[in-house]
Chain A
Amino acid sequence: MQIRLNGQPYTLAESASIVDLLQQLDLTGKRLAVEINEEIIPKSRHAATLLQANDQVEIVHAIGGG
């Protein structure tokens, strides 16, 4: 299925969880935050939260800034 990940189309398996997505992206264990359709999904819910087709997913991290 297709989702939008950080503004770009992205393909992943049906009924993938956030944990699956992060694993696929090689981001497991990184300091980041995940939002689906403008709702923050806390880390404690990453395993249980399944992605749906057309979900708008944002993954953010800390970068240098003033």
Chain B
Amino acid sequence: MNPDTFKIGQREFSSRLLVGTGKYKDLQETAAAIEMTGAEIVTFAVRRTNIGQNQDEPNLLDVISPDRYTLLPNTAGCYNAKDSVRTCLLARELLDGHNLVKLEVLGDQKTLYPNMRETLIATEQLMAEGFEVMVYCNDDPIAAKELEDMGCVAIMPLGSLIGSGLGILNPHNIRLIMEEAKVPVLVDAGVGTASDAAFAMEMGCTGVLMNTAIAHANNPVLMASAMKKAIQAGREAFLAGRMTKKAYASASSPLEGLIN
């Protein structure tokens, strides 16, 4: 069997579980959970360095090494195109020219729903700056197509609100997006537990990006293991092709040779 890999831009990956690094108890737990997921792509945020605090504390990039993982800086916390682009430029400098980013331009604090107008503006500017953009977006198939046409290397519609754990609330829209997309479609946000992740993969998504579902589990490392398996199980089920649903029973044992 050929290895079941996928490409984002020119980069090739085999793990379909992409993870965030937020909300963990400490960096040790972050590192242990992410190691357990088997993720190859790991996202992080860019923030001001604390001035005057203990600078000997370990940095995120000390435990999530750029040599080992494909780092995906994100623009979480940005509410307009200008701040998002600025954050991406800083991230590229931080990572010595690495140009893959996760664009997320938020609409409001209550929902963290994407602001699509600003997302489109930022995408255009990031393309002009030579970035490869994986874009967090709403589950609108028209907007998703527009983002792909602009050159985004991955479309990442939300399953439900960031950090909500409500699962994939509109699978029909995600399917519509996948039908049209020629670049990978990954569910970003909303996964709450392993079955949500498996469900996304059974639908045929290229992958799933999650953070809170692992970080806020009672046992993050164990949930990381569950998610890894769920992603693999869902992917294999998709490739295998599920049986057709039927309204009535269909016996699993042969009807011939019954003893009476």
Are B45 and A64 touching (Cβ within 8 A)? yes
Q: Per-position contact with A for B200-226: 1 when CB-CB < 8 Å, else 0?
A: 000000000111100100000000000
User: Once the chains are docked, how many angstroms separate the CA of A43 from the CA of B95?
Assistant: 11
Known A33-B91, A38-B86, A62-B46; contact A26-B22, beta-carbon cutoff 8 A = no
Residue of B nearest to A25 (CB): B51
Residues of chain A within 8 A of B73, CB atoms compared = 62
Which of A26, A32, A38, A65 is in CB contact (< 8 Å) with B20?
A65
Residues of chain A within 8 A of B76, CB atoms compared = 65-66
Are B43 and A26 touching (Cβ within 8 A)? no
- Say yes or no: is B138 at the interface (Cβ < 8 Å to chain A): no
Are B21 and A65 touching (Cβ within 8 A)? yes
Number of interface residues of B (CB under 8 A): 40
Of B4-12, B54-62, B140-148, B166-174, the one contacting chain A is B54-62
CB of B208 to closest CB in A, whole Å: 12
- Say yes or no: is A5 at the interface (Cβ < 8 Å to chain B): yes
- Say yes or no: is A13 at the interface (Cβ < 8 Å to chain B): no
Residue of B nearest to A58 (CB): B48
Are B212 and A30 touching (Cβ within 8 A)? no
The prevalent SS among residues of B at the interface is: mixed
Which of A8, A26, A27, A40 is in CB contact (< 8 Å) with B93?
A40
Are A61 and B59 touching (Cβ within 8 A)? yes
Residues of chain B within 8 A of A55, CB atoms compared = none
Q: Per-position contact with A for B121-146: 1 when CB-CB < 8 Å, else 0?
A: 00000000000000000000000000
User: Once the chains are docked, how many angstroms separate the CA of A8 from the CA of B55?
Assistant: 18
CB of B166 to closest CB in A, whole Å: 15
Known A63-B60, A64-B44, A65-B43; contact A32-B74, beta-carbon cutoff 8 A = no
Are A66 and B94 touching (Cβ within 8 A)? no
CB of A5 to closest CB in B, whole Å: 6
Are A64 and B22 touching (Cβ within 8 A)? yes
CB of A21 to closest CB in B, whole Å: 10
Residue of A nearest to B18 (CB): A66
User: Once the chains are docked, how many angstroms separate the CA of A40 from the CA of B46?
Assistant: 14
User: Once the chains are docked, how many angstroms separate the CA of A14 from the CA of B21?
Assistant: 39
Residue of B nearest to A6 (CB): B48
Are B55 and A33 touching (Cβ within 8 A)? no
Are A61 and B46 touching (Cβ within 8 A)? yes
Residues of chain B within 8 A of A38, CB atoms compared = 86
B positions within 8 Å CB-CB of A:
20-24, 27, 30, 43-49, 51-52, 55, 59-61, 71, 73-74, 76-77, 86, 89-91, 93-94, 96, 162-163, 189, 209-212, 215
Contact sample, A vs B, 20 pairs, CB 8 Å cutoff? A30-B49, A31-B94, A32-B49, A33-B46, A34-B93, A35-B86, A60-B90, A60-B94, A61-B46, A62-B45, A62-B60, A62-B71, A63-B44, A64-B21, A64-B27, A64-B45, A65-B20, A65-B74, A65-B77, A66-B210
5 nearest A-B pairs in the assembled complex, by CB-CB distance = A66-B20, A65-B45, A66-B211, A33-B93, A64-B21
